[in-house]
């Protein structure tokens, strides 16, 4: 489940509701909805800077392919303009436009867009002398765009907030304030007047005018005004838009669910302790987490959850079904499971599940390395453990990926890197615009003289299949067990300003030799079933290594 990097977007509410100025927008109108402490994204700042500097109508060559990854159509015009002005050199190939922008990067964008120069010297301990960032800071001080946070510290790494961004853009554009035409009891209110036209759009959203008309009518005429909820309307529209794609791995997550998702990746989940997905519109257990209440209750990979506490899950969204299963620590949930055509009831005790990603044991002089998911624990802690294993000169290593549902691609890269030379192709990624082989990025730890056996089963999915397939294709390991799950698509998470997220399928991956995984899985070199009460695959792996 490669699901964990960021790309560009703006808050969907703005896409649906915010009109665009018919001439140069004010800083306030270019950054609608940003509160004082809300951090600005890179994409929103670049768009706003282009707008307030009156560069929207700048002529650019639209036939040239941009040298950046995945630029959303709604931002493409602004990115082209900024690229023409060399204003994006701070961000390199992957712009990560949904990522928060720093004060230093914002100044670099603005200085290049505006073309301002300076000879004013400046020195701060967080700004490297002679860098592009230093020059941008000097311009900002000379132009009185932004103040340092201390005499010796400018704060270039600090994230840019809404209040700072608006003030910065006002000063950079020379924006002047005009008295408000609205009545004010204290007589000192100020505002910027901007004329709007409904003919311009932030992006090519289907039926935009219909959506805006519907919302306008709701606000003016809908009788039950207490039922009007702006957030609910925006989230509902986002969920409907995503649901229309018909992809079970592409989901919109409201803020609370998005936070739960990130918490799981950090190695902790709340609930029964099972990895789940929708398969053929049925809520299905991919694998129980080792040592979890789900495993203790007897749940198995492939179990279909039909009801929760007697309530059918049919018709519910994936995350609504997840919420039904989750609950307070110590409470029980009754799951009605369909297994091999038979419905069974299981009582499961909910608990806080801390995922022990890497479990290392020894069978004589053979190290058994069990990885339960590819999260940050594996990414950050497995390499030093493997270095310690190698120091003991093992006769062989068993890499147990059974019932591992996947996780971070970067963690999969690290695991493959342990066994093969740096720069070895380990996965092929095919997207709409690109097809490329990804290479391992770290030095090999386990020498070729130490043989490796990978254990896999039907619960091994996504990142597990990347590792198993790579080591199999590269003739570095023998795969023992059962055919893997067959989850071969790549997801990315787009994080929005309100902390909601979109998990979206953006590519499909293949083994280094071009083997398709999605819907097929990795087939073992030696097929062997897990016999009740006897770990036959592990015993076979130990025999092979001895």
**Structural domain span for residue 380:** 358-545
Q: Please indicate, yes or no, if residue 294 is contained in any of the structural domains.
A: yes
- Give the model confidence (pLDDT) of 397-411 as tens digits: 999 999 888 888 888
CATH of residue 419's domain is: 3.90.226.10
Are 349 and 224 contained in the same domain?
no
Closest CA to 105 of 165, 63, 37: 165
Counting the structural domains of the chain, the total is 4
Residues comprising the chain, all counted: 546
Terminal Cα-to-Cα distance of the chain (whole angstroms):
34
State mean pLDDT over 353-369. Answer: 84
User: What's phi and psi for 27, nearest 5 deg?
Assistant: -60, -40
Read off the pLDDT band of 35 (50, 70, 90): low
Q: Which residues pair with residue 369 across a beta bridge?
A: 360, 399
Longest dimension (CA), the chain: 88
Are 383 and 525 contained in the same domain?
yes
Beta strands in 403-459 (DSSP E): 425-431, 435-439, 452-456
Q: Please indicate, yes or no, if residue 30 is contained in any of the structural domains.
A: yes
Q: Please indicate, yes or no, if residue 248 is contained in any of the structural domains.
A: no
Q: What is the pLDDT of residue 539?
A: 93
Closest CA to 310 of 338, 345, 282: 345
pTM above 0.75, yes or no: no
Name the token pair of 283.
């809520």
Residues that are catalytic: 462, 473, 487
Q: Determine the Cα–Cα distance for residues 491 and 233; give it in Å rounded to an integer.
A: 26
Are 404 and 539 contained in the same domain?
yes
Are 379 and 320 contained in the same domain?
no
Closest CA to 512 of 464, 481, 472: 472
Q: Determine the Cα–Cα distance for residues 116 and 139; give it in Å rounded to an integer.
A: 7
The residues, any chain, with a CB within 8 Å of residue 393's CB and separated by 6 or more, are: none
CATH of residue 304's domain is: 2.30.42.10
Read off the pLDDT band of 365 (50, 70, 90): very high
Q: What is the pLDDT of residue 467?
A: 97
Are 63 and 168 contained in the same domain?
yes
Domain end call among 293, 328, 354: 354
- Give the model confidence (pLDDT) of 482-504 as tens digits: 999 999 988 888 877 777 888 88
Are 302 and 390 contained in the same domain?
no
Q: Determine the Cα–Cα distance for residues 546 and 539; give it in Å rounded to an integer.
A: 11
- Give the model confidence (pLDDT) of 67-109 as tens digits: 887 787 778 888 999 999 999 988 877 888 888 899 999 999 9
Domain end call among 121, 154, 177: 177
Q: What angle do CA 289, 540, 415 make, to 5 degrees?
A: 50
Residue 412: its H or E element: helix 409-417
């Amino acid at each position: 489940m490669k699901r964990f990097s960021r790309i560009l977007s703006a808050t969907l509410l703005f896409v649906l509701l915010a009109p665009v100025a018919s001439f140069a927008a004010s800083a306030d109108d270019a950054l609608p909805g940003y509160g004082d402490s809300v951090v600005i994204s890179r994409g929103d700042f670049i768009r706003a800077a282009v707008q307030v500097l009156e560069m929207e109508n700048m002529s650019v060559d639209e036939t040239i392919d941009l040298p950046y990854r995945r630029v959303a159509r709604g931002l493409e015009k602004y990115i082209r303009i900024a690229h023409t002005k060399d204003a994006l050199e701070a961000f390199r190939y992957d712009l990560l436009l949904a990522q928060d922008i720093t004060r230093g990067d914002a100044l670099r964008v603005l200085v290049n867009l505006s073309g301002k120069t300076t000879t004013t010297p400046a020195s701060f301990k967080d700004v490297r002398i002679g860098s592009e960032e230093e020059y941008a800071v000097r311009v900002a001080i000379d132009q009185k765009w932004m103040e340092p946070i201390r005499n010796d510290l400018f704060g270039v790494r600090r994230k840019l907030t809404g209040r700072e961004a608006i003030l910065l853009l006002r000063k950079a554009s020379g924006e002047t304030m005009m008295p408000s035409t609205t009545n004010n009891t204290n007589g000192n209110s100020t505002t910027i007047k901007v004329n709007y036209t409904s003919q311009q759009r932030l992006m090519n959203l289907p039926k935009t005018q219909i959506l805006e008309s519907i919302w306008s009518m709701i606000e003016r005429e809908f009788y039950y005004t207490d039922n009007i909820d702006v957030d609910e309307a925006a989230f509902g529209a986002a969920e409907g838009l995503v649901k229309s794609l018909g992809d079970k791995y592409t989901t919109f997550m409201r803020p609370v669910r998005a936070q739960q998702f990130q918490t799981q990746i950090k190695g902790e989940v709340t609930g029964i302790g099972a990895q789940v997905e929708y398969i053929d519109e049925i809520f299905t257990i991919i694998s129980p987490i080792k040592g979890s209440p789900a495993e203790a209750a007897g749940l198995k990979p492939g179990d279909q959850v039909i009801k929760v506490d007697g309530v059918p899950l049919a018709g519910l969204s994936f995350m609504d079904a997840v919420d039904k299963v989750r609950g307070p620590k110590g409470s029980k949930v009754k799951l009605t499971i369909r297994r091999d055509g038979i419905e069974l009831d299981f009582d499961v005790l909910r608990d806080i599940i801390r995922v022990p990603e890497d479990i290392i044991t020894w069978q004589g002089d053979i190290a058994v390395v069990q990885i339960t998911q590819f999260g940050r624990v594996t990414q950050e802690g497995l390499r030093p453990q493997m270095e310690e294993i190698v120091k003991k000169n093992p006769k062989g290593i068993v890499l147990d990926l059974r019932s591992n549902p996947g996780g971070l691609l970067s963690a999969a890269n690290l695991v493959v890197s342990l066994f093969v030379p740096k720069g070895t192709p380990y996965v092929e990624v095919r997207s709409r615009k690109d097809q490329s082989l990804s290479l391992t990025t770290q030095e090999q730890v386990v020498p070729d003289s130490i043989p490796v056996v990978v254990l896999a089963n039907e619960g091994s999915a996504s990142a597990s299949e990347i590792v198993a397939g790579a080591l199999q294709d590269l003739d570095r390991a023998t795969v023992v067990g059962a055919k893997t799950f067959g989850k071969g698509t790549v997801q990315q998470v787009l994080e929005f300003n309100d902390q909601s997220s979109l998990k979206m399928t953006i590519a499909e991956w293949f083994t280094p030799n071009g083997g398709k995984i999605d819907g097929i899985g990795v087939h073992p070199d030696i097929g062997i079933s897990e016999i009740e009460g006897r770990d036959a695959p592990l015993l076979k792996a130990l025999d092979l290594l001895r």
